[in-house]
Structure 1
Amino acid sequence: MDRLTAAEVFITIIERGSMIAAADALDMSRSMVTRYLAQMESWAGTRLLHRSTRRLSLTAEGEKALLHCQRLREISQEVEAGLGDSREKPRGRLRISCSQFVAQLMLLPSLNSYLRRYPDVAVDLQIRNEMINLVEERIDLAIRITNTLDPNIIARPLGQCPSVLCASPEYLQQRGTPLSAEQLKNHNCLVYANFGTSVWEFIYQEDLVSVPVTGNLSANDTTVLLSAVRSHSGISMLPLMSAAPYLASGELVQVLPDYQPHALGIYGIYRSRTHMPQALRLLIDQLVEDFAQQV
């Protein structure tokens, strides 16, 4: 874990009087504050705080650790003040985690532009669909598409991802075309496994309609579901961006066009706003702008 951030977390716990108050002040999840404190005590090899239901107090070793942390923060501030104009040129390596769909259709166009603008920055792109521990995996930014974001994580909205219900003409010719959301129960519905539910939600005539669906295939990757739909295997709810070329060519057709699937949020998830590298901050700002134009 980053020692400078750990020092800042430890100082803030003491200044604010509790880990909850420190989390609020640092705009950091409570679990992350607890983890940084545990790592500090692991480094020190001893307990740094006395904990009670009413207050926190420093142990003898904690008092020594606080002095070291305050000095470390002072050195950091002195270094930052001395960098001057060099801070205008972001540099370093960013590790980014996202799905294959996000990487190919959404992220790479932005990354290409970003890396041309900031040639001293390198990006290590990790193709992952599942939620991960950013600290343990050393990930600077995870991009996720979801409407069930954990309230304890730090995230910035990057945009929205509209979805479309679609199938191949061959499948609909064999199984019939559903005329209402209820009729989806009679079809082979291919679902995204990571959402943890087989209920599709739509807005129909300003009302929310929820329909439980079943099918013989679920997957945690959009490209797999798209390939299955193109192979006439069933009906699926896909990101509009990935399905649009096939809808335009007629290889796929939109199902239930009067039923609007809920748009999903696109989020950039990161560890903390404290000491955020300039390269990361600039990238997130660019993604917000670019994703708004893409979707």
Structure 2
Amino acid sequence: MDRIIAAQVFVTIAERGSLSSAAELLDMSRAMVTRYLAEMENWSGTRLFHRTTRRINLTSAGEATLVRCRDMLALAEQMSAVSNTEKDEPRGILRIACSQALAQDSLSAAIAAYLRQYPRTAVELRVDNRTVNLVEDRIDLAIRITNQLDPGLIARRLGDCPSVICASPAYLKEHGIPKNAEDLAVHNCLTYSYFGKNLWNFERAGEPLSVPVSGNFSANDSVVILRATLEGAGIAMQPVMSAAPYIASGQLVALVPKDKPITLGIHGVYMSRQNQALIMRSMLDFLTQWFGASKV
């Protein structure tokens, strides 16, 4: 973890008298503040606070460490002032995590465009369908498609991800075409293990509608679900960005047009808004423009 940020967190805890107050001031989650404090105590090799149920107080080692951390932060600020005299251009490495479908359909192209615009930067992309732990997995930025973010996370909405109900012509020829969302309950629906496996949510004429669905195949990868849909295995709810090329080519048919699947948000999740590196800020701004322009 970044020791400069860990030192800043430690100083803020000491000055504010609690982890919760420090988290609020630094615009971090309580869990992240706790991790930075643990890193400081591991770094110094000693306990820095006496903890009670109501308040925390510095140990003698903590008082000595506080002086050194303040000196270190003052020096870091001077170094930052020197660097600001140079051209304000993003540089460095950013570690990003996202799902396979998002990487394949949109993010890889977005990152390639970003790297062309900012040639002094580099991106390490981790493709993983599970929800990564930013600290443990050493990820700077996770891109997630969801409407149910943990309220303790620091996140920025980058854009919208609409979905479409679709099936192959072969499936529809054999099983018939559903006229509305309720008809999906009697069809073989291919479901994504991490989202909406048993209940698909729609909007009809501005009103919410939930339909229970089931089928003989589910997977934890939406790309696999898309492939099975193309093979005629059943009906799927897919991101528009994934299904659109196949709908345009006639390999898939968009269904129940009067019932719109609930649009999900595309979010950038990161550890803190404080002392954010220029590469992070510029990437978040770039992706906001990218997803906004692409209308995925």
**TM bucket, shorter chain:** over 0.9
Q: Distance in 2 between matches of 1:12 and 1:216?
A: 54
Q: Distance in 1 between matches of 2:63 and 2:243?
A: 59
1:115-194 equivalences under 5 Å are 115-194=115-194
Contact 1:169–1:253, Cα closer than 8 Å, also in 2: yes
> 1:42-96 deviations in whole A, cap 9, x for unaligned?
2222221112222221111111111121111111101001113325122111111
Corresponding residue of 1:208: 208
Corresponding residue of 2:84: 84
Contact 1:17–1:55, Cα closer than 8 Å, also in 2: yes
Find the residue that maps to 1:9 and give its secondary structure: helix
Q: Distance in 1 between matches of 2:292 and 2:127?
A: 22
Contact 2:154–2:269, Cα closer than 8 Å, also in 1: yes
Contact 2:95–2:126, Cα closer than 8 Å, also in 1: yes
Q: Distance in 2 between matches of 1:229 and 1:255?
A: 13
1:9-28 equivalences under 5 Å are 9-28=9-28
Contact 1:106–1:294, Cα closer than 8 Å, also in 2: no
Corresponding residue of 1:267: 267
Once the 2 structures are TM-superposed, how far is the Cα of residue 275 of structure 1 from its aligned partner?
Answer: 2.0
Q: TM-score, normalised by structure 1?
A: 0.96
Once the 2 structures are TM-superposed, how far is the Cα of residue 183 of structure 1 from its aligned partner?
Answer: 2.1
Gaps of 5+ in 1: none
Q: Distance in 1 between matches of 2:63 and 2:163?
A: 54
Once the 2 structures are TM-superposed, how far is the Cα of residue 141 of structure 1 from its aligned partner?
Answer: 0.8
Q: Tell me whether 206-215 or 99-108 shows the greater mean CA deviation.
A: 99-108
Q: Distance in 2 between matches of 1:95 and 1:151?
A: 23
Once the 2 structures are TM-superposed, how far is the Cα of residue 40 of structure 1 from its aligned partner?
Answer: 1.4
Q: TM-score, normalised by structure 2?
A: 0.96
Corresponding residue of 2:218: 218
Find the residue that maps to 1:269 and give its secondary structure: strand
Matched, 1:252 2:259: no
Q: Give the aligned CA root-mean-square deviation in angstroms.
A: 1.3
Once the 2 structures are TM-superposed, how far is the Cα of residue 122 of structure 1 from its aligned partner?
Answer: 1.0
Find the residue that maps to 2:119 and give its secondary structure: coil
Amino acid at match of 1:233: A
Corresponding residue of 2:61: 61
Amino acid at match of 2:66: L
Q: Tell me whether 207-216 or 258-267 shows the greater mean CA deviation.
A: 207-216
Find the residue that maps to 1:151 and give its secondary structure: coil
May I ask how many residue pairs the two structures share in their alignment?
Answer: 295
Q: Distance in 2 between matches of 1:260 and 1:28?
A: 36
The runs of at least 4 aligned residues of structure 1 exceeding 3 Å deviation read: none
> 1:220-248 deviations in whole A, cap 9, x for unaligned?
22211111110000011000111111111
Find the residue that maps to 1:34 and give its secondary structure: helix
Q: Distance in 2 between matches of 1:138 and 1:13?
A: 24
Matched, 1:288 2:291: no
Q: Distance in 2 between matches of 1:84 and 1:49?
A: 35
Find the residue that maps to 2:86 and give its secondary structure: helix
Q: Distance in 1 between matches of 2:114 and 2:55?
A: 46
Once the 2 structures are TM-superposed, how far is the Cα of residue 104 of structure 1 from its aligned partner?
Answer: 2.4
Q: Distance in 2 between matches of 1:260 and 1:170?
A: 23
Identical pairs, percent: 52
Q: Distance in 2 between matches of 1:134 and 1:26?
A: 18
Q: Distance in 2 between matches of 1:280 and 1:14?
A: 28
1:15-54 equivalences under 5 Å are 15-54=15-54
Amino acid at match of 1:17: G
Once the 2 structures are TM-superposed, how far is the Cα of residue 110 of structure 1 from its aligned partner?
Answer: 2.1
Contact 2:198–2:212, Cα closer than 8 Å, also in 1: yes
